[in-house]
Amino acid sequence: MFGRLLWKMLRSNRGRLAVALIAVASGATVISALLNLQFDIERKLTQEFRSFGANVIVSRVGGAEAADSNQSAPEVRGSPALMDESAVLAQIENAKTPDVVAAAPYLYVVARVGDVPVVAVGTWLDQASKLQPTWKFEGGWDPSRADEERCLVGRNVARQFRLAPGSRIELRYLSNSAHLRVADVIDAGGAEDDQIFVNLGVAQKLAVLDGRIELVQLSVSGTGSSIGAYVSRLASSLPGYDVRPVRQVAEAEGNLLDRTRLLILSMIVLILALTAMCVLATMAALAMERRKNVGLMKALGGSMSRILGLFLSELGVLGATGGLVGCVAGVALAGWMGRRVFGTSITPRWDVFPLTIAMMVCVALAGALPLRLLGKIRPAVIMRGQ
């Protein structure tokens, strides 16, 4: 009986219910599109900002004086600007989170190729390429083959010494030398074009600085607040060291993500409010039209809770149907907005479906407020035709 009554109510007053359904479906369409944009654009923006390189740097601060003033800092032999590799990397590994995209230590050595000085950068070659995703490689360099004898040369260095993938090169520093094979030539469009990138162990042996590094660069994704929280946590585990974000990259990324999220959240709240007002107005008109039906049901012994449950079920079906239709249309709208506004495709997030439908059901149930008026209806008055 309950189902039959519900179906009868949905079929009657189809004009007004269609207006409410269109309002709910339209709101769900825009909300679904905005949520898909939010989730996917945030990921794409993070990927784009990763192309700017590292956004967190760990280096030595204050030299030997800092080590003397803070005995908990690992002792470093040699230059006060150098750090103990194992101690620093162990702390970074302990504080590592899924937001850390890549991390690599660096040691810079001014070596010679023949009689020409050139900057040799010792690092983890596979991680360095992740830190600099905009590097262009002339050959098909495979990071997994970054063994001790391989190196990467900048395009200007390759042009100066007529190097190509597979060429041999000798680096000399004081009385030490390293014979390397060029794995690939990189086009970075910056200072890296004038440098030679070698494995960290090669640079340490060349400069006789075993276990020493100059700095560590990290690429950390997330908002400005999350990046700042990670920097603070890492700095507390590395006393005596300077752990700082690259402000231009970290702040720009965090601010843009925060503003995008705030804009989309504000639009969603506004759309929910407008949709709720439309449903509220529609249900207020329906409540007045159904006074006789409610009076008759009460006269036949129907309880008010049972009657209200019937109307709430009607609103729930209305919200779920509009939300489902809007989710499907929202995927298409998000794809169109991604191509026309952002110039990129948007990957649908299926977890947006239940979230949008739940919001639309809640908005539709907000239209039950005028139904409180039905509780004041007296069956005797309705039966007399007043």
- Beta-carbon count within 10 A of 55 CB: 27
Q: Where are the domains of the chain?
A: 2-47+259-383, 55-245
Minimum mean pLDDT range among 76-80, 122-126, 200-204: 76-80
With 0.85 as the threshold, say if the pTM is over it.
no
Model confidence band, residue 305 (pLDDT cutoffs 50, 70, 90): low
Residue 108 has pLDDT above 70, yes or no: yes
Q: Please give the structure tokens belonging to residue 336.
A: 């169109």
Residue 130's pLDDT is what? 84
- Residues 338-353 have pLDDT tens digits of 777 666 677 777 888 8
- Residues 254-289 have pLDDT tens digits of 566 677 778 888 888 898 888 888 887 777 776 666
Q: Please give the structure tokens belonging to residue 335.
A: 């794809």
Q: Please give the structure tokens belonging to residue 290.
A: 């159904």
- Residues 130-180 have pLDDT tens digits of 888 788 888 777 776 656 788 999 999 999 999 999 899 999 998 899 999
Quick check: 138 and 184 in contact, CB under 8 A?
yes
How many CA atoms within 13 Å lie on the side-chain side of 5?
A: 14
Q: How many residues does the chain have?
A: 386
Q: Please give the structure tokens belonging to residue 90.
A: 């162990």
Single-letter amino acid, residue 10: L
Angle at alpha carbon of residue 301, lines to 296 and 304, rounded to 5°: 80
Share of the chain above pLDDT 90, in %: 19
Task: Provide the Cα torsion 313, 317, 320, 321; round to 10°.
Answer: -170
The rounded distance, in Å, linking the Cα atoms of 40 and 37 is: 5
The rounded distance, in Å, linking the Cα atoms of 126 and 102 is: 9
Q: Please give the structure tokens belonging to residue 9.
A: 């109510």
Where does the chain have alpha helices with state H?
A: 2-11, 14-50, 63-69, 85-94, 125-131, 155-161, 200-207, 224-237, 247-289, 291-299, 304-337, 352-365, 379-383
What are the two backbone dihedrals, phi and then psi, of residue 222, each rounded to the nearest 5 degrees?
A: 125, -175
The rounded distance, in Å, linking the Cα atoms of 375 and 294 is: 9
